[in-house]
Amino acid sequence: MPNLADVIEAYLVELLQQAEQRSIVIQRSDLAALFACAPSQVSYVLQTRFIPQRGYLVETRRGGGGYIRITGLLPSVDELWRQALEISSFALTTNDARHLIGLLYQARLITAREARLLRVALERAVLRLEQPWHDEVRAELMRSMLATLMTSREE
Amino acid sequence: MPNLADVIEAYLVELLQQAEQRSIVIQRSDLAALFACAPSQVSYVLQTRFIPQRGYLVETRRGGGGYIRITGLLPSVDELWRQALEISSFALTTNDARHLIGLLYQARLITAREARLLRVALERAVLRLEQPWHDEVRAELMRSMLATLMTSREE
DNA sequence: TCATAAAGGTCAGGGAAGGACAAAGAAGGA
DNA sequence: TCCTTCTTTGTCCTTCCCTGACCTTTATGA
């Protein structure tokens, strides 16, 4: 018997596939009512399934008329991307990050500006953190940014 | 069912786009009557949407013959970068960051991919930090990334 | 001059979303 | 069995919307 979480995930994926757009808009309480579960269950599904690492973007708004928008990004294209994600799967030193970014740039998968952006973000993002966390957080951030890049074309 | 606030915002934006000038003049009570809401609702929309951070200037006059003038600012490229830096000079909420990025994108100062990159970085980078530091660190990271983008032309 | 009417401003409060988090429950592996 | 990880719920919190009551400013005319 499948999880409720899996069922909800499948339902949302189905909605996304049938949508004209690349995104759908839902309301947390509606979905909770539909599946007769706690609203926070929906949040759980979003937090564990519809994450950047899996190629999704979630935007929300609180208050009256609040909503949740899920955007499914383009399917990934290149094996290099996969490798890049793999490389940053756990921890990433500054040097490893630099090297990886260089590879992506040489392969023309990212622009010079994007490369600089990645470097700056990865260097500055960890400044307020205790040392032991640096490489881990850097990897996490790298994965998110890679997922974003690998699933979005220039418009 | 969108918010009334969103509807009013859209209406005013529409008016601004159709206007010959860069500004429009309205009356609070008229607008309130048009949308069948409390006058303070209009004030709310102005205070939450048509703010300098989003590129608008609002001037009002009370008393008989009072009015509200909304001006959409079209800053020069340099001015826009400067404003962006200024906006992120101390603390930056997720929402303000989103709008700022949107502004830069609309002005074609950054690409769609770069915009997504910024958003993801700003959202994920603060996850391991205690709440009180979020906006501050976000601003710091934003400044670094802005500086990088400002000083690097395409390719 | 100054009372009055006609604007817009301010603010507290209630209601309607989603968010965060702890704790209990379930599933599966060592 | 026992431990770990994932799921599910419940409770309380934050954000956002909207209104109503009351305040301040400005124009005008007696």
Q: List residues, Cβ < 7 Å, touching strand D.
A: A 3-6, 36-41, 44, 48, 61-66; B 3-6, 37-41, 44, 48, 61-66, 95
Predicted pLDDT at B133 = 80
Is pLDDT of B58 > 80? Answer: yes
| Chain B contacts in chain A segment 33-52 (CB below 8 A) | 52
Delimiting residues of CATH 1.10.1200 domain(s) in chain A: 79-150
Q: Are strands A56-61 and B23-26 parallel, antiparallel or unpaired?
A: unpaired
Q: What angle do CA B23, B52, B116 make, to 5 degrees?
A: 110
Of the candidates A129, A149, A155, the beta carbon closest to that of B117 is on A149
Assign domain B77-150 one CATH number from 1.10.1200, 1.25.40, 3.10.450, 1.10.760. 1.10.1200
List pLDDT tens digits, range B87-123.
888 888 888 888 889 889 888 899 999 999 999 899 8
Is pLDDT of A76 > 70? Answer: no
What is the separation of C-alpha B16 from the centre of its chain, rounded to a whole number of angstroms?
15
Delimiting residues of CATH 1.10.1200 domain(s) in chain B: 77-150
Predicted pLDDT at A77 = 47
Distance linking the first and last C-alpha atoms of chain B: 44
Annotation: CATH topology of A4-72: Phenylalanyl-tRNA Synthetase; Chain B, domain 1 (3.30.56)
Predicted pLDDT at A96 = 81
Q: What percent of chain B has pLDDT over 90?
A: 49
Contact status, residue A67 vs residue A25, Cβ threshold 8 Å:
yes
Delimiting residues of CATH 3.30.56.130 domain(s) in chain A: 4-72
Is pLDDT of A71 > 50? Answer: yes
Is pLDDT of B139 > 70? Answer: yes
Predicted pLDDT at A73 = 65
A2 touches strand C (CB under 7 A): no
> Between B31 and B82, where is the model more confident?
B31
Residue with tokens 């690492």: A53
Alpha carbons B109 and B112: distance in angstroms, whole number: 10
State which amino acid sits at residue B140: E
Q: With CB atoms and an 8 Å threshold, state whether B117 touches A114.
A: yes
> Between B82 and A117, where is the model more confident?
A117
Predicted pLDDT at B147 = 92
Is pLDDT of B67 > 90? Answer: yes
DSSP string for A129-151? S-GGGHHHHHHHHHHHHHHHHHT
Alpha carbons A104 and A80: distance in angstroms, whole number: 8
Predicted pLDDT at B153 = 63
List pLDDT tens digits, range A24-58.
999 999 999 999 999 999 999 999 999 876 778 89
Q: What percent of chain B has pLDDT over 70?
A: 96
CATH of domain A79-150: 1.10.1200
Give mean pLDDT, residues B44-67: 92
Rounded to a whole number of angstroms, the distance from the CA of B61 to the nearest CA of chain A is 31
Predicted pLDDT at B14 = 95
Q: Edge-to-edge, what's the strand order for the sheet holding B67-72?
A: B23-26, B67-72, B56-61
Q: Edge-to-edge, what's the strand order for the sheet holding A56-61?
A: A23-26, A67-72, A56-61
Contact status, residue A39 vs residue A83, Cβ threshold 8 Å:
no
